[in-house]
Structure 1
Amino acid sequence: MAVKKACESFSKGLIEEVQRWGCLKQTGVSLRYMMEFGSEPSLRNLLISAQFLHKELPIRIARRAIELESLPYGLSDKPAVLKVRDWYLDSFRDLRSFPDIKDESDEKHFTQMIKAIKVRHNNVVPTMALGVQQLKKGIKSKIVYQDLDEIHQFLDRFYMSRIGIRMLIGQHVELHNPNPPPHCVGYIHTKMSPLEVARNASEDARSICFHEYGSAPNVNIYGDPDFTFPYVPTHLHLMVFELVKNSLRAVQERFMDSDKVAPPIRIIVADGIEDVTIKVSDEGGGIPRSGLPKIFTYLYSTAANHVDEQTDLGTGDSVIMAGYGYGLPISRLYARYFGGDLQIISMEGYGTDAYLHLSRLGDSQEPLP
């Protein structure tokens, strides 16, 4: 099957326009700005927001489309990666062919269109994972992790940019909600309780562990139940879920055939002046020191690989206990998106501590790859 280059399926004019827009400067926004701006979702503010996105989204999308064309090792030619590239080019074309936004009716139509773009890109992460799998199959023995550094850095930029695009679209769409939940400004909860989010995420992770192993270690959570701060609960849920899921799996597998009771996973929420830190500790045996650098790469998973050509990527909701090894690197990007970070400290033979730092100030600009 001949590989279709972008110039065959998309007009020359569109490709030139992508190149042109990809050179324009991106504009980052902070959590605080999104919160203050969105707290008054007046018609005028929604218009300003739509006009901003009309200009900003094509720049961000064009940059990624250009990068998707020139990846090392022939990754750009893998069928899954071509599919992702086509989604980006389609979305760029939709945005660029949308006329200037002048009134409420334009803004409503624009909001519907970007909503559709967000849905179109739902499966970008598993589809890119599939592309990387297709690549790894092709170069099994010759693979040198240092050489794949370039691919890893590209994926970091690519996924970080995707988090930003989805946050901007989701935030704008959510401001149209006629009955927003209390204390919510779009995706942002101004009085989010990290303890409550951690509890929900732990329960979700435990139910998956139950499903897979027939039992699940306990999770104990410590911290001030009344403490709240402004953050995006869906982001925090995703990160804590990932960390707890990894801990549950490690403990479960370590104590499965033992007559000892599996020790609980401990979550501690600490509220500092600059950061809110969430520590997830387990006694799952830890990770050897040589393995630590690999846990944040997209080309490594300790679990058996679940992504293959047959994987149904239709729903985007199917969660497996251990998947394509993307949970940790992507969780770290979510933390960094609003100025935080994720660190993993391991004691081989004992267990692992994950430190999730969330910036309290909400002033850091989006990191724009």
Structure 2
Amino acid sequence: MAAQPSAMASIATGFARAITRATSATQSTVVKGHRLVDVVPPDVVSDVFSHALKKQTGVSLKYMQDFGANPIERQLTLSAQFLHKELPVRLAHRVAELENLPYGLSARSSILKVRDWYVESFKELRQFQPIKSTADELKFTDLLRSIYRRHANVVPVMAKGVAELRRELVRQQSSLVEMPEIHQFLDGFYLSRIGIRILIGQHIALHEPPKSNHIGLICTRCSPVQVAQDAINDARAICLREYGASPEVTVYGDPGFTFP
């Protein structure tokens, strides 16, 4: 999964700064005792940051669709081998970012919990043997299911940490609006999380019974009108609950149009 070029450039700039801070022995935004080097063996820390300096490999939905159209054993093994190498890189990028957030956000217990989830998943992937057979691939898929479940609550736990910071800033008469680094980090972090979840989820889904009009997770006949309508229904329900009224919304376009 890849962002637009301008967004990628912005994310890359921020990430480069995070790596610089992470590799500095004299500066850290995490309180001593909570830094990665304080809770993880040095060899693991070194492995994490060496992977964090590697470039992520972009994967398009078109490629995933074509690759998963005929999920034979050979295809699944190749997919597992790719994920075995790629996922540690992506997870390491997230760890480096979480370790070096501004305004003390990295020291929040919720953020530390998320960081440690990513470190644990990184360690499990790095410790897994090279995938050479169908049996290896099946074991690796079980590991991916475990990792997928572990990270299911990342969004609400991250939100808790940010909410704590927001309340503190309000007391200090400050605002997250004045802190673009936090917004930039969250945009990039959640975008990257979506990419990781889709890569893992797609591989897992190819092991499950096929669904009509689907290749793994990818719906081959997605209706943008229906997607919009679902979002409208959710938003209107929230408005009704909070304010007692909600606006009517009209969707224009061909209701029969679909695409993968």
**Are 2:70 and 1:78 equivalent residues in the alignment?**
no
Q: Does 1:67 align with 2:67?
A: no
Matched ranges for 1:298-309 at <5 A: none
User: What residue in structure 2 maps to residue 173 of structure 1?
Assistant: 204
TM-score, with structure 2 as normaliser: 0.80
**Which residue is equivalent to 1:285?**
none
The yes-or-no answer on 1:113 pairing with 2:136 is no
In structure 2, the CA distance between the partners of 1:36 and 1:208, relative to structure 1 (3 Å rule), is same
Pick from 120, 123, 135: which aligns with 1:93? 123
State the percentage of identical aligned residues: 51
**5+ residue gaps, structure 1:** 231-369
Q: Single out whichever of 213-222 and 134-143 deviates more from structure 2.
A: 213-222
Counterpart of 1:8 in structure 2 is 38
Q: How does 1:270-281 map to 2 (within 5 A)?
A: none
**Which whole-Å CA distance do the structure 1 matches of 2:105 and 2:228 have between them?**
37
1:228, CA displacement in angstroms? 1.1
Q: Larger % of helix: which?
A: 2
Check if 1:185 corresponds to 2:215.
Answer: yes
* 1:9 shift after superposition: 2.5
CA gap 1:206/1:62 in 2 versus in 1, 3 angstroms: same
CA distance in structure 2 between the aligned counterparts of 1:221 and 1:148, rounded to whole angstroms: 35
Query: Residues 79 and 131 of structure 1 are in contact (CA less than 8 Å); yes or no, is this contact kept in structure 2?
Result: yes
The count of residues paired between Structure 1 and Structure 2 equals 229
CA distance in 1 between counterparts of 2:169 and 2:248 reads 41
One-letter code aligned to 1:168: L
Equivalent position amino acid for 2:145 in 1: K
Question: 2:220 is paired with a residue of what secondary structure?
Answer: strand
C-alpha contact 2:49 2:96 (8 A) present in aligned 1: yes
Is 2:204 the partner of 1:161?
Answer: no
Q: Is the 8 A contact 2:169 2:175 kept in 1?
A: no
Taking only aligned residues, the RMSD between alpha carbons, in angstroms, comes to 2.3
Give the conservation status (yes or no) of the 8 Å contact 2:105–2:161: yes
SS of residue matched to 1:221 = coil
Cα shift readout 1:229-260 (whole Å, capped 9, x = no counterpart): 11xxxxxxxxxxxxxxxxxxxxxxxxxxxxxx
CA positional deviation for 1:186: 1.4
With CA pairs under 8 Å and 6+ residues apart, which has the higher RCO, 1 or 2?
2
**Counterpart-to-counterpart distance in 2, 1:216 and 1:156:** 28
Are 2:23 and 1:18 equivalent residues in the alignment? no
Structure 2 unaligned blocks of 5 or more: 1-30
**1:239 aligned partner:** none
Residue 118 of structure 1 contacts residue 169 of structure 1 at CA under 8 Å; is this kept in 2?
yes
In structure 1, the partner of 2:4 is: none
Contact preservation (8 Å) 1:3, 1:77: no
Deviation at 1:117, TM superposition (A): 1.1
Aligned pair in 2 of structure 1 residues 92, 211: CA closer, same or farther (>3 Å)? same
